[in-house]
Structure 1
Amino acid sequence: MTPPQFIAFGEALTDFIRVDTDTWHSRPGGAGWNVARVVGRLGVGAAFAGAVSDDLLGRQLLEASAAASLDTRFIQPLPYPPLLAMVPSSQPPSYFFVGDNSADLHFDPARLPPDGLDALRIAYFGSISLARPPLADRLLALARELAARGAAIAFDPNMRSAMSEAGYRRRFEALAGLASYIKVSDEDLQQLFPAQDQTHALEALRRLAPQAAILFTRGADGMSLISPDGEQEQPALPAAVADTIGCGDASIGGLIASLLKHPARTMAEHLRFAAATAACTAGHAGAYAPDETMVNAKLALPSAA
């Protein structure tokens, strides 16, 4: 099997989404896994690297990974409980996590496929995996190793309440310093830099990551791509919003897929593709991953011009 160009490292979990008073629906999820699935569905060789439970929920994650054309050699089924994300409200999203000693914490980078990193161009890190010791420091060490080998690092803080863990800020600043690409939302910025307004918070992030292209998402107000070469603005594309779960993951996944598959595009074109990927996801319940045909159709609509 050809080694993947993109690998997302972190957590794969099961979302339990409340749909009414007595009913919850379960779906495979997790920020890193969602991003890998988006990149894979958009036609780029991709993998999710992490550990899952060796039970029904873990098998569902493996099956969904294979269905998204992900290289499943990077997933480690282990005899530990699953990590769960409980979603009492999907609009606006609210979460809490259940995962004491769950399988994700036992991911072992030494067990990656021997040739698995040979074609790696972009590696993703982010979300709650960076606030879950001992996994968190293991991932930071891996990010440093991959950056030293020449891989570009993509980082999405994807802030959650679980990320008040004591060592998180140190890891956040270290990953920002390694990253070539950072995705951050307006809500992330508010939590990361609570004493600063949006402009000054972005400036603070730029100081931590002067080398990075920052994908700054603002929901219905659109997104920006801020890099050492300048700034591009992109309005949100029209969508009949089912919910916003997974839209941030779709935006960074769309950007990464565009960068890898269409390197001749301008940064403005990469940004529009990211916005269209997010808009396609918003039109479906849960963390939906569109294919390239669907994203291109969204871009072709007159209102997207």
Structure 2
Amino acid sequence: MSGLPVFVSAGEALTDMLRDGADNWTSQVGGSTWNVARVMARLGVPSAFAGAVSDDVFGDALLRASAEAGLDSRFLQRLGHSPLLAIVYERNPPRYFFVGDDSADLYFDPDRLPAGWHGAASWVHFGGISLARPPLRDTLLALAVRLKEQGVAISYDPNYRALMDERYDPVLRQMTALADVIKVSDEDLCGLFRCQDPEPALAALRALNPGALYLYTLGAAGARLLHGGHTWSAPAPEVRVADTVGAGDASIAALLYSLMRQPEAGMDQHLRYAVAGGAAACLAPGAAPPTLEQLQQQLPAVSVYNHQAVQS
């Protein structure tokens, strides 16, 4: 492997420990930023996940899944620290906590990445719980600032989790101000802004960076794309849902894929890809990255509405 990836996602890769019944547990590889990298690779974009995992059986599983996805292995660091685990003890509604006080992810070192990688990358993605876990948080914030100064495009998905309390507010402000593309869901907004109505929260978030492109996902109701004074919306196509895990990660990845591969396309087409990507991810159980063929099969079923055009 000689060429460097054009897309890099930096953050956390972890293991979900899922409770099935009183004493039955299953494990599943995961992590928001890691999932985005896997989707991009599955869509055919030379990609990497930049992060650290444990040097044990949990890290082995993440290494295998990364290789199966086609991610550049030079960006995944193996360290002799404990694994990062998400203990999901109830599924509906989800109740969970994280185990990883001194885990490998916290020791990720950008200086160990391949020489010249930031010159090859056109986009770098940030988000997930990695930005809520010091000292990794500070490492990634500093990296995002450096990349922005070097002209690399930044995407950001906070992907709200319970540990993102008021201590996360400065991170939200800084990353939103840095990012070119920001993905957020209605549930994210209510959690991040500690409110019941996501619409004022969305307006407050956009005020932090009015020039950014915002992908606002609404679950089964579809998504909106917002840029400047323009809004495009698209209902979700009807699909036979096997699992919604990873749908949000697939939607931001599909949007970035569209922006990278067809930059001349209109915002309606970019949103169509984002919604189709999220729908395609629901076709298989677990955070299964959709193929480009699966994504494209969903495109004809996605209708996009330009709200500016309707108002005029």
TM-score above 0.5 = yes
TM range (shorter): over 0.9
- Describe how 1:285-304 pairs up with structure 2 within 5 A: 285-300=285-300, 303-304=301-302
Distance 1:274 1:290 in 2: 12
SS at match of 2:232: strand
Partner of 2:128: 127
Q: Against the structure 1 CA distance between its residues 17 and 213, is the aligned structure 2 distance closer, same or farther, given a 3 Å change threshold?
A: same
Q: Against the structure 1 CA distance between its residues 164 and 224, is the aligned structure 2 distance closer, same or farther, given a 3 Å change threshold?
A: same
**Aligned: 1:185 with 2:196:** no
**Residue 277 of structure 1, CA deviation:** 1.2
Deviation digits for residues 148-192 of structure 1 (CA, Å, limit 9, x no counterpart): 0001110111110112273x2111100000010000000111122
**Residue 229 of structure 1, CA deviation:** 5.7
**Residue 69 of structure 1, CA deviation:** 1.1
Partner of 1:220: 220
Distance 1:195 1:275 in 2: 26
Read off the aligned partner of 2:280 and give its amino acid letter: C
Q: TM-score, normalised by structure 1?
A: 0.94
Contact 1:44 1:261 in 2 (8 A): no
Instruction: Name structure 2 gaps, 5 residues minimum.
Output: 304-312
Contact 2:79 2:104 in 1 (8 A): yes
Deviation digits for residues 87-118 of structure 1 (CA, Å, limit 9, x no counterpart): 23445444321111000000011111112222
Read off the aligned partner of 2:209 and give its amino acid letter: A
Which range is displaced more, 196-205 or 60-69?
Answer: 196-205
**Residue 304 of structure 1, CA deviation:** 3.9
Q: Against the structure 1 CA distance between its residues 241 and 75, is the aligned structure 2 distance closer, same or farther, given a 3 Å change threshold?
A: same
Contact 2:255 2:273 in 1 (8 A): yes
Q: Against the structure 1 CA distance between its residues 284 and 17, is the aligned structure 2 distance closer, same or farther, given a 3 Å change threshold?
A: farther
Distance 1:27 1:196 in 2: 31
Read off the aligned partner of 1:274 and give its amino acid letter: A
**Residue 245 of structure 1, CA deviation:** 1.5
Deviation digits for residues 108-152 of structure 1 (CA, Å, limit 9, x no counterpart): 111111122221111111111111011101100000000000011
Distance 1:67 1:121 in 2: 23
Read off the aligned partner of 1:263 and give its amino acid letter: P
Partner of 1:138: 139
Contact 1:93 1:245 in 2 (8 A): no
Q: TM-score, normalised by structure 2?
A: 0.92
Distance 1:270 1:229 in 2: 17
Contact 1:3 1:117 in 2 (8 A): no
Distance 2:115 2:268 in 1: 37
Distance 2:113 2:229 in 1: 36
Partner of 2:306: none
Read off the aligned partner of 1:104 and give its amino acid letter: D
- Describe how 1:87-102 pairs up with structure 2 within 5 A: 87-102=88-103
SS at match of 1:8: strand
Which range is displaced more, 286-295 or 88-97?
Answer: 88-97
Read off the aligned partner of 1:239 and give its amino acid letter: V
**Residue 196 of structure 1, CA deviation:** 6.9
SS at match of 1:161: coil
Partner of 1:79: 80
Which range is displaced more, 72-81 or 250-259?
Answer: 250-259
Read off the aligned partner of 1:155 and give its amino acid letter: Y
Partner of 2:309: none
Partner of 1:251: 251
Q: Against the structure 1 CA distance between its residues 94 and 245, is the aligned structure 2 distance closer, same or farther, given a 3 Å change threshold?
A: farther
- Describe how 1:30-45 pairs up with structure 2 within 5 A: 30-45=31-46
**Aligned: 1:16 with 2:17:** yes
Distance 2:194 2:67 in 1: 40
Which range is displaced more, 235-244 or 195-204?
Answer: 195-204
Distance 2:48 2:258 in 1: 16
Contact 1:58 1:77 in 2 (8 A): yes
State the 4+ residue runs in structure 1 displaced beyond 6 angstroms: none
Read off the aligned partner of 1:268 and give its amino acid letter: D
Read off the aligned partner of 1:242 and give its amino acid letter: A
Which range is displaced more, 113-122 or 182-191?
Answer: 113-122
Q: How many residues align?
A: 302
Contact 1:90 1:245 in 2 (8 A): no
Distance 2:227 2:95 in 1: 31
**Aligned: 1:150 with 2:168:** no
Read off the aligned partner of 1:129 and give its amino acid letter: S
Let me know the Cα RMSD of the aligned residues: 1.6
Aligned-pair identity in percent equals: 50
